[in-house]
Structure 1
Amino acid sequence: MIKRLLIVIPSYNEETALPKLLYEIKATTFLHSFVVVPVVVNDCSKDNTEAVAKASGETVVSLVNNLGIGGAVQAGIKYAKRNGFDYVLQMDGDGQHPPSEVNKLLQAALDTNADVIIGSRFLNKEGFQTSLIRRFGIKYFHWLNRILTHKSVHDTTSGFRLLGARAIKLAAAYYPDDYPEPESLIFFSRAGLTIKEVPVVMRERQGGKSSIAGFSTLFYMTKVTLSSILSYVRKI
């Protein structure tokens, strides 16, 4: 049975990396059991992100206000739910997630029937492993997630993830606003969804600038910690 997959690409000021990423998606041969449709969610970018996305011929959803990564991803998830897609794949607009790795997540979904599939940099430790300070933060969130959910997810901050029907339904109704990856895993776990990790190879961002650098790293860790704890105690 053919499944419909929506690739949601949240993008804020990604005019440099986005054209290459969209070209790679077009050039990729995905598993034959999937019909793949990319959509770029332009999060009120200040550069030419919207123009280069439209020039590629792909569907573009342009937000009138900047919602942050979580709001942009949720906009794509709502689009998928409204249009009857079976799966949503989140792929960052900065080019860190090679389209050639997508089939690993799709095959894992077919093999395990898990609700959420996480593409992990750290299972096989191949490809770009990010900076030392970020690896420390990721390990910290690994243990925080383990304490709160009793589940072990090594790459909790990975934005390379596949959502099935149950996860789409939940995330369309609620999804964390800023830096949603670690918190959403706690939310999904508490809702009884199954979460699996598969090893993938990632690369450095292909353009643009990260919103998490320098002092903002400490702010990020503090905010996500508090949000994760609140997500753990909130009613679902």
Structure 2
Amino acid sequence: MRINYLIPTKNESESITHLIESIRKVSEDNNYLYDIFLVDDSDDDTIEKATKLNAHIIRGLGQGLGASMLKGFGSCLKIPADFILTLDSDGQVDVSEIPIFVNTALEQKADVVISSRFLRPDLIKYRYPFINLIGNRVLVLILRLATGFSFTDSHGGLRLMRPETLRNLSLIGKHTYVQETLIHFVRSGYQIIELPSQWLPREHSDSRVIASIPKYIRRTLPGLLYLMHFHYLLYSITILSLIFNISSLYLAGLLTVIATFIHNKRNQAISIDSFETDLK
């Protein structure tokens, strides 16, 4: 059994050593062969600490999580493995759960196993900010509407995937990696299982996400609505408003057409093959 671990990092110097050592211990205790990859956009000494622990370093692109993760997946796919497992770098993921995800995938022949913090009420081990909960609920609703799959969490910290699920992955947004991959898995017909997963308090510095939830939704919502083909509905409304001379609907539709055009210009689809690997 071989697992390629992929960790996106940005200034996680305080947590990265413990995280990598924890992954190594879990892997060795369960007789997994493994490689650990960091796709990194740090300006602290995260890379230096990870390199001392024999992690492969992939330079991030500074163009959003989606582009960095695609580049990371490309590097992971160059080293054959049974699974690719992505996990957050901030120490909030319970690494001891990794064998549960692996065993579930093997026993139930799942293609993708993802974590959810909301399948049980006791999984989040601290006071979860209300604004984060609202943002998560909005994104979960969009995912359900886009896929028909009953997701309960839009941002679980652990994802176990068979390599073949990623080979044809492409993204249209710089900030919608998390949701776009889930939509890709469902629309491609892969078997997905959601498992309960603990979410631990962040021990090293404050989360960078809490203060940016409204900004994050503003960045992700246009792309997700586009993936849902929601813009076609508004195009139709625009045409009908012209026919029946309803100025307010026409204005709303026109703004949507302009927003969609801008979104498409700024976010051309990118795939794993778009990047050269600089694996170290």
State TM-score, norm by structure 2: 0.74
Give the letter aligned to residue 113 of structure 2: I
Contact 1:87 1:168 in 2 (8 A): no
Distance 1:108 1:31 in 2: 18
Determine which of 32, 36, 39 is the counterpart of 1:38.
36
What secondary structure, in the 3-state scheme, does the structure 2 residue paired with 1:109 have?
helix
Shift of 1:162: 1.0
The one-letter code sitting in structure 2 at the alignment partner of 1:168 is L
Q: Which runs of 5 or more structure 2 residues have no equivalent in the other structure?
A: 230-263, 272-280
Structure-2 change in CA distance of 1:170 and 1:206 (3 Å): farther
Which amino acid in structure 2 is aligned with residue 57 of structure 1?
N
Cα gap change, 1:88/1:9 in structure 2, threshold over 3 Å: closer, same or farther?
A: same
Question: Match of 2:64?
Answer: 68
CA drift at 1:119: 1.0
* CA RMSD between the two structures: 2.5
Are residue 142 (structure 1) and residue 107 (structure 2) matched?
A: no
Give the length in aligned residue pairs. 230
Aligned equivalent of 2:219, options 210, 223, 228 = 223
Cα distance 1:206–1:39, how it changes in 2: closer, same or farther (>3 A)? farther
Pair 1:7-2:5 in alignment:
yes
List gaps (5 residues or longer) in structure 1.
Answer: none
Partner residue, 2:114: 118
1:25 and 2:23 are equivalent in the alignment: yes
Deviations along 1:171-192, one digit per CA (max 9) or x if unpaired, are: 3x54753242123212222222
1:158-173 maps to which residues of 2 (within 5 A)? 158-171=156-169, 173=170
The residue correspondences of 1:147-226 to structure 2 (distance < 5 A) are 147-171=145-169, 173-174=170-171, 176-214=173-211, 216-226=212-222
**Which deviates more, 132-141 or 199-208?**
199-208
- Alpha-carbon deviation of 1:229? 2.2
**Residues 179, 20 of structure 1: alpha-carbon distance in 2 compared, 3 angstrom cutoff:** farther
* Kept in 1: contact 2:39–2:59 (CA 8 A): yes
1:98 aligns to 2:107 (yes or no)? no
Aligned to 1:78: 74
What percent identity do the matched residue pairs reach?
A: 24
Q: Distance in 2 between matches of 1:55 and 1:208?
A: 23
- In structure 2, give the amino acid aligned to 1:93: S
CA distance in 2, matches of 1:148, 1:26: 37
Report the 3-state secondary structure (helix = DSSP H, G, I; strand = E; otherwise coil) of the residue aligned with 1:202.
coil
Q: Whose Rg is larger?
A: 2
Contact 1:119–1:160 (8 Å) recurs in 2: yes
One-letter identity of the residue aligned with 1:92? D
The TM-score normalised by the length of structure 1 is 0.86
Amino acid at match of 1:10: P
- Give the deviation of 1:168 after TM superposition: 2.0
**Do the aligned partners of 1:31 and 1:103 also contact (CA within 8 Å) in 2?**
no
Between Structure 1 and Structure 2, the one with more helix by share is 2
CA 1:163–1:92 in 2, change beyond 3 Å: closer, same or farther?
same
Name the CA distance, whole Å, in 1 between partners of 2:202 and 2:168.
Answer: 29
Give me the whole-angstrom Cα distance separating, in 2, the residues matched to 1:50 and 1:36.
19
- Return 188-197 or 11-20, whichever deviates more: 188-197
- Structure 2: distance between partners of 1:175 and 1:87: 25
Identify the residue that residue 50 of structure 2 maps to in structure 1: 53
Residue deviations 1:96-140 (CA, integer Å, cap 9, x gap): 112211112111111222222111111123243632211121122
The CA distance in 1 between the partners of 2:184 and 2:175, in whole Å, is 14
Q: Secondary structure at the match of 1:88?
A: strand
Change over 3 Å in CA distance of 1:136–1:188 after alignment to 2: same
